[in-house]
Amino acid sequence: MPANELIQTVYEQVLKRNPGEPEFHQAVREVLDCLGPVLDKNPDYVKAGILERLVEPERQLIFRIPWQDDKGNFRVNRGFRIEFNSALGPYKGGIRFHPSVYIGIIKFLGFEQILKNSLTGLMMGGGKGGADFDPKGKSDNEVMRFCQSFITELCRHIGPDTDIPAGDIGVGGREIGYMFGQYKRIRNEFTGVLTGKGLEWGGSLARTEATGYGLVYITEEALKANGKSIDGMTVSISGSGNVAIYATEKAQQLGGKVITLSDSNGFIYDPDGVNLDTVKQLKEVERKRIKQYVAIHKNAKYTEGCSGIWGVKCDIALPCATQNELDEDAAKILVKNGCIIVGEGANMPCTPEAVEVFLNNNVVFLPGKAANAGGVAVSGLEMAQNSQRIAWTFEKAEAELKNIMTTIYKNSSEAAEEYGRAGNLVAGANIAGFIKVANAMLAQGLV
């Protein structure tokens, strides 16, 4: 069967097997659309059914999470873990707690994770998990009881050589701590089963910063290839969680001026450049809304609703909140305002139409699976440190992260060029990530 026909057939099978899961369809479509030239060059992939197997998760877990709130009410949420692909190593990927979570979100994230983890060059397969639990407004004790119930079920399926979860939206150091404690108690094992742990009990220095820092490193690398630098540029960032905060920190360290941040209620614009100490205090310590920022910084302006954020003029746009937050209209405004580079800190924040606009207007576009791979990369380094029972310095972990991000940029650029899509890093990242996974699947036989 010719490559294009096979791709269409595989995509139709995905639609049929996974109805009502548009985010998963979107993620698969983007990858498949890049693979025609790879299949033409490697007929063995076609013969061995690599595509058909790649889009079907190895294992999908759905489970009940019963827990009790502070008033004594019994509550029930739904939990998920998709163990998508283990060709390159144990399943690895974050856990998301957000009311919008359903199987289609976890599948899209798990699918992205396969190729992202491949790009890091470390030995990690792809997986993702989560629950439709809303951590907003919950007390620490409620979050703890929820995490304990979640891991009481999940602990049967994970392990340091099997499946290693980490954080994502709504899951940070606090939640990882509660999950780790419960896992340890049930299994009577102190192992590196989760990453993003506290620094005193097995976490890696630089993991907290890794996704945001990595995003800025790869952005700087891409700018350098075009004879430019972040120094002196205006940067617009969305979100105000883990990724957004540390992208802001590194962009500021490199001389960029970050002028926006947001949460799901609205965004702030600070013409003086955002004050990160204030943001960290509000978001990491007090768990408040970004709106509070303007009560402290009088020159800054808060706008209710998120869509206007991309209307703020900037040189660099780094969407770091959530999927499909930047659409075609927003992309056109960014282009009109002279934006020269877009780096996806979040997973799939730009719609396919927005990506088209960037690619057609010579805006450098860094897709999430390359641009935000720094987080899982340092998770991989945390696993390595745990296996050796040692702890690296911040400098060593950060240097490795920088090296990995530079290599991802280089490998993605070269793959794009080799397969006739020079300058298209969506194609380059998908192809470079895919080839390693496909070769491993070929070598491991029909599994």
Residues within the interface to ligand NDP (CB under 6 A) = 167-170, 172, 211, 239-244, 263-265, 306, 320-322, 325, 345-347, 372, 375
Q: Single out the residue of 120, 195, 260, 303 in contact with ligand 2IT (rule: CB under 6 A).
A: 195
- Asked whether position 168 contacts ligand 2IT by CB under 6 A, the answer is yes
Residue type, 27: A
Cβ distance to ligand 2IT smaller for residue 212 or 256: 212
Question: What span, in angstroms and rounded, lies between the C-alpha atoms of 432 and 330?
Answer: 29
Task: Output the smallest distance, CB 194 to ligand 2IT, in A.
Answer: 9
Cβ distance to ligand NDP smaller for residue 321 or 340: 321
Place of tokens 């998990």: 129
Question: Could you report how far apart the first and last alpha carbons of the chain are, in Å?
Answer: 22
Q: Single out the residue of 89, 90, 93, 214 in contact with ligand 2IT (rule: CB under 6 A).
A: 93
Task: Output the smallest distance, CB 377 to ligand NDP, in A.
Answer: 10
Cβ distance to ligand NDP smaller for residue 67 or 97: 97
Stretch that binds ligand 2IT, among 63-71, 244-252, 373-381, 431-439 (CB under 6 A): 373-381
Sorted by sequence, the CB contacts under 8 Å of residue 429 that are 6+ apart come out as 115, 119, 367, 369, 370, 408, 412, 415
Task: Output the smallest distance, CB 321 to ligand NDP, in A.
Answer: 4
Cβ distance to ligand NDP smaller for residue 45 or 84: 84
Active site residue 301: no
Task: Output the smallest distance, CB 349 to ligand NDP, in A.
Answer: 7
Contact yes or no for 219/230 (Cβ under 8 A): yes
Cβ distance to ligand NDP smaller for residue 239 or 311: 239
Sorted by sequence, the CB contacts under 8 Å of residue 75 that are 6+ apart come out as 66, 67, 68, 69
- Asked whether position 94 contacts ligand 2IT by CB under 6 A, the answer is yes
Question: CB under 5 to 8 A by kind: which of ligand 2IT, ligand NDP, none does 93 bind?
Answer: ligand 2IT
Question: CB under 5 to 8 A by kind: which of ligand 2IT, ligand NDP, none does 92 bind?
Answer: ligand 2IT
Cβ distance to ligand 2IT smaller for residue 268 or 432: 432
Q: Which residues of 410-446 are buried (b: 16+ CB within 10 A; e: fewer)?
A: ebbbebbeebebeebbbbbbbbbbbbbbbbbbeeeee
Residues paired with 164 in a beta bridge: 92
Question: CB under 5 to 8 A by kind: which of ligand 2IT, ligand NDP, none does 170 bind?
Answer: ligand NDP
Q: Which residue is nearest to ligand 2IT (CB)?
A: 94
Site for ligand 2IT in 63-92 (CB under 6 A): 92
Cβ distance to ligand 2IT smaller for residue 92 or 98: 92
Check 116, 128, 250, 369 and give the catalytic one. 128
Q: Single out the residue of 55, 251, 376, 427 in contact with ligand 2IT (rule: CB under 6 A).
A: 376
Task: Output the smallest distance, CB 245 to ligand NDP, in A.
Answer: 8
Task: Output the smallest distance, CB 345 to ligand NDP, in A.
Answer: 6
- Asked whether position 317 contacts ligand 2IT by CB under 6 A, the answer is no
Cβ distance to ligand 2IT smaller for residue 130 or 428: 130
Question: CB under 5 to 8 A by kind: which of ligand NDP, ligand 2IT, none does 104 bind?
Answer: none
- Asked whether position 103 contacts ligand 2IT by CB under 6 A, the answer is no
- Asked whether position 166 contacts ligand 2IT by CB under 6 A, the answer is yes
Task: Output the smallest distance, CB 243 to ligand NDP, in A.
Answer: 4
Task: Output the smallest distance, CB 210 to ligand 2IT, in A.
Answer: 8
Active-site positions read 128
Return residues touching ligand 2IT (CB under 6 A): 92-94, 113, 116, 166, 168, 195, 347, 375-376, 379
